[in-house]
Structure 1
Amino acid sequence: MQPFVYNSLPARVIFGPGTLSQVGREIQNLGCSKALVLTGPSQSKKGEALKEDLGDVCVGLYSNATMHTPTNITDEAVELAKNLGADCVVAIGGGSAVGLAKAIALRTDLPQIAIPTSYSGSEATAISGQTENGIKTTQKTLKVLPEVIIYDVDLTLTLPAQMTITSGINAMAHAVEALYSTESNPVTDTLAEQGLARLAGALPILSKDPQNSEARSDALFGAWACGSCLGAVSMALHHKLCHTLGGTFNLPHSETHTVVLPHTIAYNTPFATAAMTKAARVLGSASAAQGVFDLAKNLGAPYSLKQLGMKEEDLERAADVAMKSPYPNPAPLEREKILSLLRDAYEGKRPL
């Protein structure tokens, strides 16, 4: 066995159906009594219901969590938390709510409880992103890692089929990058393969039967496994491109990951053959890049940046932004090759 380094992350994970009922007890376990609930506009009803369930333990609700975590939204939420005297935050929703909780924790050190309702996987990482003046930046620090993650399978039953697919492929991107990361190791490799397998098996079922609780459970576990992988290693080209397209051009988060992933896999495969062979085997495909592309397209997910509203004339700028402050990557980063990757993703070409 080759030498390796593995950093485990300290987090309490509660997984299963109906686990939302344990939020109050977990707040008490943290030594807290004044929780601010965070959610986004589309999940506001879940936020209201949780606020009511918590009773006096909840001092307020902020329901304007926004995609890509704009700094002005964080400013508002931090000010509200201070005014209410909150001693912890509870995020319920997708990556936007979890991202906002992380941004608040980064500034205030307030403890977090994350209750994801999608498969973003952000809750399992110590990575925080924010967008300011059209540029999305990230940093890695244990200050933003939630103290508690509550995975309630029941909360994912109402996730629309289309969002289920794109959110699930977004989660798969975490595992793929972990496999070819410069910090890959046997622990994360095993977890990545398991996460990919669970999601690849569950998503076709959920595209036809969104209420299938067993497939929902598999997908949610897969999302946690994939997120945990990325939390233990470094991000690479795929996340850099998606952060560029989301933060600078405001493209939707999970859909962008879905479109870009096959092309970043193809870009890196010649320099990470063994890693991508593992991914291809799990996906039941001769090529990991084609396996992900076909999975997305066959399940009715978007497969081109054009479909997401990207303008062809902005591809050059996207390549320029992506080349600034690059993340470690197995394949050398060359502007013209990245521009070619973006053009293929724009057109929705099936990777060779």
Structure 2
Amino acid sequence: MSLVFEHVTLGQRVLFGSGEAAGHLAKEVSRLGAERVMVIASEFELPMARRVAAGIDPVLWHTDVVMHVPVEVAEKARAAAAEHKVDLLVSVGGGSTTGLAKAVALETGIPIVAVPTTYAGSEATNVWGLTEAARKTTGTDDRVLPVSVLYDAELTVSLPVDMSVASGLNGMAHCIDSLWAPRADPINAALAAEGIRSLAAGLPQVAADPAGLPGREQALYGCYLAAVAFASAGSGIHHKICHVLGGTFNLPHAQTHATVLPYVLAFNAPAAPEAGKRIAAAFGAGTALEGLQALRETLDAPRALADYGFTPGDIADAVRIALPAIPESNPRKVTEANLTALLAAATAGEDPKTLTDL
């Protein structure tokens, strides 16, 4: 069979090096000719951001960062950028911080230099998300793609093991969802498989030696590949479900993705055998689900949505909101009944294998 596909590669500069973030940032600010830099970082990560920005002189430090980027928080950041005539945004932090910088760039076109401190992957995509009236809206726009990403594994060492695991499995979800998302193609699949392999190698090292850099470097590398694949392939069933759980029910982003992933994989893999084989091979396992579950067992990964405040009484609303957003191209037809079963299993933390026979 001949190969026929359309693939878009996003243009972005990536600088990777442990202990190099401050030097890389100073060079990027100079290269871009920026004179009025706004640094976005949460209060918690502000000390780290100050170290990263030691070689530049920002005109503004902005610390009002909120998970899922509420519209009012985005508007406040946009107003601050306009007031200070900002010509470059520097985000230092996880997905919420990068997301806020994207919300500013979406309306203003101000370029972003992203310095990630988790494995969220948002820094490598042109996807934005905003929450208003308990509904999360996402979209794509090249204005929100950071022009440069500075990866420094030293900045992730302070991320606790449980958050590192959840964040890394969020990256794994980018890989797996990319294999059946609306614009899945062979290039995305190759990136996703290498991302799975790298994350499966790196995350156990992070858990075993949280202060060690080799595992954290592998995890950062894997999550970058995951995000690039996801940016090209688009949002599949997993992300459509998790956007509802986060935006409507305010569940924590990384933990939600880490919890839902095995249920989506168990649900879809029987209907997507080639994707399943690729995932299994990347894990070095007999089946895709066996590989993922073995890794999750090693990492003591999040297990149940109920642990984060989601209840059986929330399922019907979640299904009603998520079902219309799930792509028609999903390899398995999604119905109200089987999506309800998927969320019920994820809420209780049941064995995902129960979904393969629905």
**Partners in 1 of 2:330 and 2:43 — Cα distance?**
36
Q: 8 Å contact 1:37–1:61 — kept in the other structure?
A: yes
Q: 8 Å contact 2:119–2:168 — kept in the other structure?
A: yes
**How far did 1:32 drift?**
1.3
Q: 8 Å contact 2:168–2:223 — kept in the other structure?
A: yes
Specify the SS of the correspondent of 2:56: helix
Q: Residue 204 of structure 1 aligns with which residue?
A: 204
Q: Residue 330 of structure 1 aligns with which residue?
A: 331
**How far did 1:324 drift?**
3.1
The answer to whether the aligner puts 1:350 opposite 2:351 as a matched pair is: yes
**How far did 1:52 drift?**
4.4
**How far did 1:187 drift?**
1.5
C-alpha RMSD of matched pairs (Å): 1.4
Q: Residue 221 of structure 2 aligns with which residue?
A: 221
**How far did 1:48 drift?**
3.1
**How far did 1:121 drift?**
0.6
Q: Residue 36 of structure 1 aligns with which residue?
A: 38
**Partners in 1 of 2:145 and 2:24 — Cα distance?**
19
Q: 8 Å contact 1:123–1:145 — kept in the other structure?
A: yes
Q: Percent of counterpart pairs with the same letter?
A: 35
Q: Residue 85 of structure 2 aligns with which residue?
A: 85
- Structure 1: state its 5+ residue gaps: none
Specify the SS of the correspondent of 1:49: helix
**Partners in 2 of 1:212 and 1:180 — Cα distance?**
34
TM-score when scaled to structure 1? 0.96
Per-residue CA deviation, residues 299-320 of structure 1 (Å, 9 max, x unaligned), is 1221110111112211111111
Residue correspondence of structure 1 range 110-129 to structure 2 within 5 A = 110-129=110-129
The answer to whether the aligner puts 1:164 opposite 2:164 as a matched pair is: yes
Q: What residue identity is the alignment partner of 2:295?
A: L
TM-score when scaled to structure 2? 0.94
Q: 8 Å contact 2:270–2:276 — kept in the other structure?
A: no
**Partners in 2 of 1:225 and 1:264 — Cα distance?**
20
Q: What residue identity is the alignment partner of 1:196?
A: I
Q: Residue 270 of structure 1 aligns with which residue?
A: 270
Q: Residue 136 of structure 1 aligns with which residue?
A: 136
Q: Residue 145 of structure 1 aligns with which residue?
A: 145
Q: 8 Å contact 1:263–1:289 — kept in the other structure?
A: no
**Partners in 2 of 1:278 and 1:23 — Cα distance?**
37
**How far did 1:280 drift?**
1.6
Q: 8 Å contact 1:182–1:330 — kept in the other structure?
A: no
Specify the SS of the correspondent of 2:330: coil
Q: 8 Å contact 1:180–1:276 — kept in the other structure?
A: no
Count of aligned pairs: 350
Q: What residue identity is the alignment partner of 1:41?
A: E
The answer to whether the aligner puts 1:45 opposite 2:78 as a matched pair is: no
Specify the SS of the correspondent of 2:150: strand
Per-residue CA deviation, residues 98-144 of structure 1 (Å, 9 max, x unaligned), is 11111110010001000001100111111111111000111011111
Structure 1: which 4+ aligned runs deviate by more than 4 Å?
none
Specify the SS of the correspondent of 1:180: coil
Q: What residue identity is the alignment partner of 2:230?
A: L
The answer to whether the aligner puts 1:183 opposite 2:183 as a matched pair is: yes
- Structure 2: state its 5+ residue gaps: 354-358
Q: 8 Å contact 1:51–1:60 — kept in the other structure?
A: no
Specify the SS of the correspondent of 1:105: helix
Per-residue CA deviation, residues 123-173 of structure 1 (Å, 9 max, x unaligned), is 111111111100011101111111011111211122111111110000011
Specify the SS of the correspondent of 2:47: helix
Q: 8 Å contact 2:204–2:215 — kept in the other structure?
A: no
**How far did 1:276 drift?**
1.5
**Partners in 1 of 2:61 and 2:135 — Cα distance?**
28
Equivalent residue for 1:25, pick from 24, 27, 31: 27
Per-residue CA deviation, residues 311-351 of structure 1 (Å, 9 max, x unaligned), is 22111111111113333522222111101000000111121
**Partners in 2 of 1:330 and 1:126 — Cα distance?**
25
Q: 8 Å contact 1:319–1:339 — kept in the other structure?
A: yes
